C-alpha cells in the first residue's frame, strides 16, 4: 500500500498513547467478581469519547452489552466510523451510544460503570461531583461496581510537570502509517489553593512534526481521600483504592492491589472503586 502523507487523526494517537481498554476491563471484571461472585454482563462507559472500551466490551462476549455516554457528537461520530465499524451487526445490537451529559443521561441499570482517564475531574465542585456519583449509583444494579482512575504523587502538585513516553507506531485502517511517536503530558498550570489544573497532550510524530495542544483539559485534581468520602456520601457502601507497585526501572508494574496505606511516589495512578 502506498504510504500516505495525510496528518494522522488525533483520535488514533490518543487511543494508542492513552487508552488500554483491556487492562481497564480486566481490572473491573476482577473487582466485580471478587465482590459479587458472578461475571458482569453490562457496562456503562461514561465520558466514552470514541467508545473504544464499550466496543471492546461487546466484542468480548456475546452476552455482553454496553452503553457509552459523551456529550461531544463529533467524537462519538469518529467512534462510530472507526470503532463501531469493526463490530459485527450482531455486536452492534448490544452497543448503545448516547450523546448527552453524564449528569443527566439515563441508561438501564448496569453491572459496571467506568469513568476513565480522569474524566470526572471536569467536575470542580464537591456538590457536582457528589451529584455525578449519585447518578452513577442509580444507574447500577444492586450488585454493581463503579471504577474510575486518578493520578497523584509529588510531581502532580508541581506547577509545571512534563512526562514523555515513546508509543509504538501502527497503521490506521485508512492506510496512514504512523511510526513510533512521542506522547507528552504537560501539566501547564496547577493552583495549590484550589487544585485546579490545566493539562495538555502534545504529540511528536516523525514525518508529521509536533502537534501541540492536541488535547487540553481544565480539571480539578481530586485527592484519594476526597474521592472515597464523596463516593460514600453519594450512597456507595464501600470505596476502595487500588494502587500499582514499581518495577526496578521505577515504572508502574501495572498490577493494581487493594491498599489501605502506601508510600508516596513522584507519580502514581490509582483505580478508585465504589461498591454499590
φ, ψ at 101 (rounded to 5°): -85, 130
**Is residue 91 at the binding interface for ligand SAM, with CB under 6 A as the rule?**
no
Q: Nearest Cα to 35, choosing from 238, 271, 263, 267?
A: 238
Considering only the stretches 79-87, 98-106, 134-142, 179-187, report the one whose residues sit in contact with ligand SAM under the rule CB under 6 A: 98-106
Residue of 22, 86, 101, 253 interacting with ligand SAM (CB under 6 A):
101
Residue of 122, 214, 224, 265 interacting with ligand SAM (CB under 6 A):
122
- Nearest-angstrom CA–CA distance, 197 and 154: 15
**Is residue 41 at the binding interface for ligand SAM, with CB under 6 A as the rule?**
no
Give the residue with the Cβ less far from ligand SAM, 59 or 262: 59
**Is residue 135 at the binding interface for ligand SAM, with CB under 6 A as the rule?**
no
The residue sitting closest to ligand SAM, measured at its beta carbon, is 49
Site for ligand SAM, residues 49 to 88, rule: CB under 6 A: 49, 69-72, 75
Per-residue cell: 167: 508509543
How many residues touch ligand SAM (CB under 6 A)? Answer: 17
User: Least distance (Å) from ligand SAM to the CB of residue 2?
Assistant: 32
Contact yes or no for 239/232 (Cβ under 8 A): yes
User: Least distance (Å) from ligand SAM to the CB of residue 168?
Assistant: 18
**Is residue 18 at the binding interface for ligand SAM, with CB under 6 A as the rule?**
yes
User: Least distance (Å) from ligand SAM to the CB of residue 109?
Assistant: 19
Considering only the stretches 43-51, 134-142, 173-181, 264-272, report the one whose residues sit in contact with ligand SAM under the rule CB under 6 A: 43-51
Element (H, E) at 184: strand 181-191
Binding site for ligand SAM (CB under 6 A): 18-19, 47-49, 69-72, 75, 101-103, 116-117, 119, 122
Amino acid at each position: 500500500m502506498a504510504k500516505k502523507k495525510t496528518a494522522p487523526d488525533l483520535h488514533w494517537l490518543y487511543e494508542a498513547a492513552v487508552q488500554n481498554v483491556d487492562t481497564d476491563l480486566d481490572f473491573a471484571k476482577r473487582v466485580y467478581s471478587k465482590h459479587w461472585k458472578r461475571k458482569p454482563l453490562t457496562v456503562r462507559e461514561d465520558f466514552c469519547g470514541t467508545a473504544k472500551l464499550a466496543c471492546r466490551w461487546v466484542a468480548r462476549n456475546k452476552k455482553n452489552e454496553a452503553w457509552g455516554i459523551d456529550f461531544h457528537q463529533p467524537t462519538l461520530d469518529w467512534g462510530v466510523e472507526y470503532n463501531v465499524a469493526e463490530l459485527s451487526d450482531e455486536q452492534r445490537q448490544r452497543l448503545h451510544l448516547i450523546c448527552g451529559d453524564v449528569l443527566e443521561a439515563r441508561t438501564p441499570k448496569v453491572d459496571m460503570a467506568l469513568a476513565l482517564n480522569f474524566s470526572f475531574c471536569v467536575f470542580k465542585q464537591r456538590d457536582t461531583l457528589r451529584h455525578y456519583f449519585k447518578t452513577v449509583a442509580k444507574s447500577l444494579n444492586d450488585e454493581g461496581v463503579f471504577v474510575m482512575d486518578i493520578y497523584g504523587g509529588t510531581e502532580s502538585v508541581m506547577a509545571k510537570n512534563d512526562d514523555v513516553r515513546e508509543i509504538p507506531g501502527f497503521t490506521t485502517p485508512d492506510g496512514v502509517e504512523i511510526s513510533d511517536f512521542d506522547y507528552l503530558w504537560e501539566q501547564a498550570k496547577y493552583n495549590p489553593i484550589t487544585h485546579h489544573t490545566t493539562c495538555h497532550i502534545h504529540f511528536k510524530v516523525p514525518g508529521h512534526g509536533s502537534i501541540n495542544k492536541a488535547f487540553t483539559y481544565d480539571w480539578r485534581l481530586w485527592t484519594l481521600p476526597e474521592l472515597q468520602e464523596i463516593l460514600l456520601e453519594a450512597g456507595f457502601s464501600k470505596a476502595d483504592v487500588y494502587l500499582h507497585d514499581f518495577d526496578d526501572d521505577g515504572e508502574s508494574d501495572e498490577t493494581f492491589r487493594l491498599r489501605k496505606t502506601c508510600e508516596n511516589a513522584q507519580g502514581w495512578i490509582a483505580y478508585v472503586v465504589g461498591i454499590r
